[in-house]
Structure 1
C-alpha cells in the first residue's frame, strides 16, 4: 500500500506522525510526506521521501498579513487561525500538492489536524483519509471558523466540502483519555493510538549525579520564562531540597561544564534515561507533557503560551501536576511546588493513572495494521 502523509511545516505537528510512518514502512508499505521544503530536514534523516509543496512558514505568514492588512493586529485568534490553515495555505498549496499526489498515486492519506490540504486531495483522488489529532481539540467556535474557511476551497474545485473538521474518514486521537477535555473530542470514527514522544538526549552529559537514594528532578524551561525565572535562580531554589537535578539546556549543554551540586546537563529531554526521576519542571509543551505522563512522573508546569496553559490545566485536572502561571511563577514557588510533588502521594498516583491510560492505548504497529486493513476494505467498497 502507498501512504501519503500531509503536514504543516511545524515540527511539533509533523513529528507525532513519524512513529506511525515508521511502523507502516516496517510492514513493507511505501511512505512519503507532502509538506513545505523546509520540513525536509526532519524527515530525510529518517529516510522518508518528501514531496515538497506549498509555502514555508515565513511565506505563509506574509500572505496572511497581506490578506488581512492592518486587521492582523486586531483579528480574533479564530479568524487568524482559519485564514492561516484553512484559507491562505490551502490556496497556496492545494493545486500543486494535488498534482504531485496524482503522480505518486496514494492508496491512503494521513494528515495532522491543522493540515487542510490532505483531506481536500483525498476527496479529489477518491482515496480514504485519516486525520491525526496530536493535541487538544480546539473549541467548537474555532472549529466552525476553520470549516467555514475551507468550504469555499472545495466548492471552487467542484468537490463536496467536509461536514465537520477535523475532516477525514477516521480520526487518530493521540491525547490520552485522562488529559482530554470533557466533550472535547470530535464524533468521527475514532482510534486512540499511543503517543510516542520523540525526545532524546543529544550530546553527552558533562556531569551526572549519583542518586544515592535522592529523588531526581528533571528541569527544562523555555527561555521565554523571563528574567524573573532564570535557570540559575531555579537551581539555587531547588538546592534547598534533597534532590538530584538534570537540566535540559539545549545546545548550551556541551559548553556549561559541571553544574552546582548534584546537576547533570543535557541538550534535550531524555527518551530512556529516567532512572530515579520523580518530578519534572517544564513549560507545558505537548511532547514533554506526554513524555512525563508516559512514565508516570508528575510535573510542575510554568506555561508560556495559551496552548501550554491548556496542557498545564489538563495535567492539573488529572491530579498529575501543578500549574504555575508564568507571570506569577518565581523560583521559590517552583521549588515549593516540586516539594509538594515529592511529598504528596496524590500527585504520583495521578501520574500513574495517566501512565496506565497511555499503556492501554495501542502502539504504532497495531494501529498501522488496523489502518491498512481498514483502508483496503474501504477501497473495495468504492
Structure 2
C-alpha cells in the first residue's frame, strides 16, 4: 500500500478533475489524502476523500472581485506569457516570455502557493507520502515532495500551456546564454527561493514535475518533450441529483446549454448574451436544457412564450444530461468538453478563456464540433451553427472518432500501476535541512 497525496490550491473546478484519479488510487487499496486550503475542505470531503487543510485561504477570489483587470485576464485570451503557447518556437521572444512571467508570478502563483507551502511541507515531513500529484499551478506540491523524497507529477486540467511555455523559455534562455532559476527568470527565481527555504535545490522538475498525467488524447497536446502519462478523462460533477424529468425521452431533439461555473463564481460574468441565444435556439424545432446559475432570473427574461421549448435549471449533472443531447453548446471548459466527448455528442464551443480556445480548436480539428468566437456568438449565429450540427452527419462521425480516442486511453484505474512504477523510479532521499524559520514545526515525532 502506498501513500498518495493530491495537492491543489483551493479551486473547485481543479478538484473535480482530480477526484476520479484520487478515487482510483483509493479503490486500488492505497491511502489517499487531498491537501488544500481550508475553504476547499467541504468539497473534498463531499467527494468522499480525506481532506487535509493546510495554511490559510488564498486571496484570489478577493483579488478578482476588486480588480477588474485581473478578472479580464483570467476570463479572456490575453494572459502573457501563456497567450503565445501555440505560437511556433522560432517566432517567440525571450523578453516577452520573461515579462509575462514577471507579471503572472506575483498575482497568481505566489498568491495561491505562499499561504499553504509551510504547512504542506510539514505535512509531507510527517506523513511521508511516496507520490505527490499536483495541479499545474500549485508548485508548492513539487517543493513539498522533494523535501520528503516523494516522487511528484502534475495532473493537467486542460491543454498544457504551462509546460509548453516553460520549455520554450528554457530553450530561449539557453540560446541567449542565460541561466534558468536566476534573476532573469521570474518563475525560476521564485521557485529557487521557495525551495531554498526548505533545503531544496532548484531544477526544472519544480516547474513541470517529474512526469505529467494528461487527460487529453495526443492530438490536443502541444509539442513538448514532457513525459506525458495518458489517463482517460473521468467525470465528477460534485454533489449531484438526477431529476426525474431527465429520465424521460425528450419529445423533441434535445440541445444542452451550459457556460460553466467559473464565469459567475470567479470572473466577470458571461461573455455572451444568454437570453438572446436561448430565444434563438427556442425558434428551432428542439428542446433546450440550459444549466445556468441564476436560472430564475433567466426564466423571467425568457417569458412564457419560449417556456415550453427551454428548460433553465440552476444545475443539472452534465454526466447525466450529455447522453440525452444531440448537441451541446458550451464555453469550452475542460470538464464540459471531456464529458461531452465521452458520449460522442457534437459540440458548439463559444470559447473565450485561454485554454478553452485551444480545447475548442481541438474538438473542431476532430470534426466533432464547431469553434465559434465569442465576438460572433449572436443568437442568430449560434442557432445557425446548432442547425448545422444537427443535420450534418459528419459532426457525429467526428464526435465518434473523438470518443474512440478517449476510450483508447487507460482509465484512471488502469493508469494507477504505471503512476506507481514512475513513483518508484523517481523517489529520492528526503532533504535533511531544518525547516524554514517561518514554518510551523509539524514534523513527525519519533521515539526510540
Q: TM-score scaled by structure 2?
A: 0.72
Pairing 1:159–2:165 present: no
1:105 to 1:380, Cα distance in 2 relative to 1, 3 A = closer
Instruction: Identify which of 106, 125, 129 aligns with 1:106.
Output: 129
Deviation at 1:281, TM superposition (A): 0.7
Instruction: Identify which of 244, 263, 273 aligns with 1:229.
Output: 273
Partner of 1:68: none
Pairing 1:150–2:194 present: no
State the Cα deviation string for residues 65-111 of structure 1 (Å, max 9, x = none): 9xxxxxx9x99654343234544544433222111221222121111
Q: Give SS of 2:344's match.
A: coil
Query: 1:149 and 1:318 mapped to 2: Cα distance?
Result: 39
Partner of 1:194: 232
Instruction: Identify which of 347, 364, 369 aligns with 1:316.
Output: 364
Partner of 1:325: 373
Q: More displaced, 246-255 or 342-351?
A: 246-255
Q: More displaced, 116-125 or 202-211?
A: 202-211
Mapped contact 2:282–2:310 kept (Cα < 8 A)? no
- Count of aligned pairs: 369
Query: 1:19 and 1:207 mapped to 2: Cα distance?
Result: 24
Query: 2:257 and 2:121 mapped to 1: Cα distance?
Result: 44
1:124 to 1:165, Cα distance in 2 relative to 1, 3 A = closer
Pairing 1:295–2:343 present: yes
Deviation at 1:359, TM superposition (A): 0.3
Instruction: Identify which of 284, 309, 332 aligns with 1:241.
Output: 284
Deviation at 1:122, TM superposition (A): 1.1
Query: 2:277 and 2:210 mapped to 1: Cα distance?
Result: 47
1:268 to 1:80, Cα distance in 2 relative to 1, 3 A = farther
Partner of 2:438: none
Mapped contact 1:54–1:89 kept (Cα < 8 A)? no
Partner of 1:15: 16
Structure with the larger RCO, 1 or 2 (CA within 8 Å, 6+ apart): 2
Q: Give SS of 2:318's match.
A: coil
1:253 to 1:375, Cα distance in 2 relative to 1, 3 A = farther
Mapped contact 1:193–1:364 kept (Cα < 8 A)? yes
Tell me the C-alpha RMSD between the 2 structures. 3.4
Q: Give SS of 2:423's match.
A: helix
Query: 1:11 and 1:121 mapped to 2: Cα distance?
Result: 22
Which structure 2 residue ranges, 5 or more long, are not aligned?
Answer: 67-72, 74-78, 81-98, 170-185, 431-448
Query: 2:401 and 2:326 mapped to 1: Cα distance?
Result: 15
Mapped contact 1:205–1:254 kept (Cα < 8 A)? no
Which structure 1 residue ranges, 5 or more long, are not aligned?
Answer: 66-71
Query: 1:317 and 1:300 mapped to 2: Cα distance?
Result: 13
Deviation at 1:218, TM superposition (A): 0.6
Pairing 1:116–2:160 present: no
Mapped contact 2:9–2:138 kept (Cα < 8 A)? yes
Q: Within 5 A, what are the aligned runs for 1:1-382?
A: 1-58=2-59, 78-84=101-107, 86-138=109-161, 140-141=164-165, 144=169, 146-164=187-205, 166-181=207-222, 183=223, 185=224, 187-199=225-237, 202=241, 204=243, 210-212=249-251, 214-221=252-259, 224-225=269-270, 229-231=273-275, 233-250=276-293, 252=295, 260-266=307-313, 267-376=315-424
Q: Give SS of 1:303's match.
A: coil
Q: Give SS of 2:290's match.
A: strand
Q: TM-score scaled by structure 1?
A: 0.84
State the Cα deviation string for residues 141-176 of structure 1 (Å, max 9, x = none): 456453443133224433221225643222101122
Query: 1:178 and 1:188 mapped to 2: Cα distance?
Result: 15
Q: Give SS of 2:9's match.
A: coil
Mapped contact 1:280–1:299 kept (Cα < 8 A)? yes
Deviation at 1:335, TM superposition (A): 0.2
